[in-house]
Amino acid sequence: MAFALAMSLPTCVHAQMRESETLIVLDLSNACADETSALLLTSEVRVRLPEAVVIRESAGFDGADWSVAWRTLEEDACGLALRGPDAGVQLALAANAPPEQIRQAASRVAWLVSVQASGEADADALDDPLALDASLLGTPQPQAEPEPQAEPEPGAEDEIVAEAMAEPDSELDSEPQAEQAPAFRVSLVPGISFPASADSEQISTFSLNLLGGRSLGLSGVEFGLLFNAESGFVEGVQFAVGANLVSGDVSGAQLSFGLNLAQASLNGVQLGSVNLAGGVVRGAQIGFFNVGKDVAGLQIALINVARTSAVPVGLVNFLYGEPVYLTTWFTQSGLLVAGIRHGGRYLRYIYALGASPFATNALMAAGVGVGAHLPLDPIYIDLDVLGFQLAGVGENFLEQATLNQVRVTIGWQIARHFAVFGGVALSALAPRGLAGAQELVPSYGQRLFENEADPQIWLWPELHLGLSF
């Protein structure tokens, strides 16, 4: 992911710092950083720099004053490549490094940017990337006239990288550090907690929020009466009567009677009345109203909203990124049906209207169904359950019957918007006195109850063929 950090560095922060706005782009979209590590590095850099930080997605480094890339450096080792207005430096940082190492690297990034912005780096050294590295890292530079230098020996640049990760100097030590998570933390409201801490720099292990609490992140368990709020990430479980609110990724579970919010991705479960996820959902959302972006899992609610969803189970499923198929089929018993089919990758819904055009007494049909969809491109297999309400035409309109079907269908997706399919169904008809309904039953159909006093229910297998557009 690429982030653009727009920061104001005013003179009140440093005596010699010039009034300016600095744009920094973080490129964390590679194998060196997963989503949790990338979010932690972004948060740690942000809290160490003055003024509010506005984060937006960026397609590249064009126009940026600084770029920071967590990527593969020399010898296939991961690290931070920091490039400033005039030169750059590399800092060792292993792939998905422990939080403490990420915080240490964030301190150095923030310090290097601050020193450069304040103009403390030697102006004559800015033309030489290695000289810039050394000057920013506190290595004294010779003041005499420069003499021709031999090519650096192998490993010299590695020594500079090692210096960058060495024990920080006194000025670097002055940078604020994110607090270590205490074993237990109790909050009344945000800002009033024991032990006392800055909410924006706290990563909690176990939190009890009597009314509500806020922290940078959670790596453990959190209980709250009204709300739990994290400005960064969650790795663990949140319980709240009111709401769980997370500005970043959630890996674990959010459980509440009210609202669960993960503004980025969800890897786990949301269980509450309203569940919202702004990114990819790998897991499940269960409630009355669910919203996700791309759901590679399960949604169960009265109303589900997503761009794509693998298994949406609900009364209303609004999937704005999934196609809607027009479909029509003809059954062996003489019923001609047309309708629409839509839903997720593995679960789809059918709404259909039909008629029996060849029956002596014409019939109309309206039906709904749900089915499992197994894509085996270009072949697919469907297992559907359908229910139709049959009615007569004209004077017989008030006479009705019920037709239910369980069917297995095999289809061939010839083109993106064209498929042919066919299969077999087990049909069950309850005529209930509707004239013409009995005509749907083939000669081999079997009556379920032989006693004339019992309701008539007929069973038979039949074939169907159809097209989908």
In a domain, 179, yes or no: no
Instruction: Bin 417: left if φ > 0, else alpha if -120 < ψ < 50, else beta.
Output: alpha
Identify whether 38 is part of a domain.
yes
Residue 351 and residue 298 share a domain: no
- Check which CATH number belongs to the domain holding 399 and give it: 2.40.160
Return the pLDDT at 17: 36
Q: Which is nearest to 264 in space by CA: 275, 250, 282, 252?
A: 250
Ordered mean pLDDT values, 10 residues apiece, the chain (469 residues): 42 35 68 77 72 48 70 76 75 82 80 66 40 36 46 48 43 42 77 70 86 90 95 94 95 97 95 96 97 95 96 95 94 95 94 90 92 94 96 78 96 94 96 84 87 79 97
Same structural domain, 441 and 377: yes
CA-to-CA distance for 390 and 172, rounded, in angstroms?
79
Same-domain check for residues 293 and 331: no
Which of 319, 346, 367 is the last residue in one of the domains? 319
* 217 and 111 both lie in a single domain: no
423 and 279, same domain (yes or no): no
Whether 178 is in a domain gets the answer no
Residues making up the chain, counted from first to last: 469
Looking at residue 166, its pLDDT comes to 45
End-to-end CA distance of the chain: 37
Q: Are 64 and 159 within one domain?
A: yes
Which of 300, 319, 338 marks a domain boundary?
A: 319
Please give the pLDDT value at position 118.
Answer: 60
In a domain, 205, yes or no: yes
Do 104 and 195 belong to one domain?
no
CA dihedral 112, 116, 117, 123 (to 10 degrees): 170
154 and 219 inside one domain: no
Model's pTM, two decimal places? 0.60
59 residue type, one letter: A
Phi-psi region of 71 (alpha: psi -120 to 50; beta: other; left: phi over 0): beta
Name the helix (H) or strand (E) containing 116.
Answer: helix 99-118
> What is the Cα Rg of the chain in Å?
33
Helix, strand, or coil (residue 457): coil
Same domain membership, residue 146 and residue 80: yes
pLDDT for 30: 65
Which domain does 403 fall in, by range? 325-468
> pLDDT value at position 109?
80
- In the numeric block, which tokens belong to residue 349? 């819904």
Residue 209 lies inside a defined structural domain of this protein: yes
Indicate whether 273 belongs to any domain.
yes
The amino acid present at 221, given as its one-letter code, is V
Assess if residue 357 is contained within a domain. Answer: yes
pLDDT of residue 41: 80
Q: What is the pLDDT of residue 200?
A: 55
- Domains: count for the chain: 3
Same domain, 310 and 330: no
Judge if 84 and 228 occupy the same domain: no
Please give the pLDDT value at position 242: 96
Q: Which of 319, 344, 378 is the last residue of a domain?
A: 319
| Cα 365 versus chain centre, distance | 41
15 and 155 within one domain = yes
